Amino acid sequence: MEEHFYQCPYCWEEVSILLDTSIDENSFIEDCEVCCNPLEFTVKFINRELINFEVQQFQ
Ligand SMILES: [Zn+2]
């Protein structure tokens, strides 16, 4: 697992999330730790290296 920091598109707080580096491409919904709004994450790893990280409001 790898810790990654991002800015929440709802509350603009900097929040950290744990990412599973063993999954190459992953998208999932998780609530913001601060404001509890649902966020949609799209994450891509190559050789366990993070090459893409996107977070957007889930609707
Ligand atoms: Zn938030």
pLDDT digits (tens, 9 = 90+) for 1-55: 999 999 999 999 999 999 999 999 999 999 999 999 999 999 999 999 999 999 9
* pLDDT score for 59: 86
* pLDDT score for 28: 97
14: CA distance to ligand 1 center in Å?
A: 8
Task: Name 37's bridge partners.
Answer: none
The type of residue at 30 is E
53: CA distance to ligand 1 center in Å?
A: 17
pTM across the whole model: 0.91
34: CA distance to ligand 1 center in Å?
A: 5
13: CA distance to ligand 1 center in Å?
A: 6
**Which residues are CB-neighbours of 1 under 8 A, at least 6 positions away?**
18, 19, 20, 21
Reading the block at residue 26, the tokens are 């992953």
Task: Name 46's bridge partners.
Answer: 49
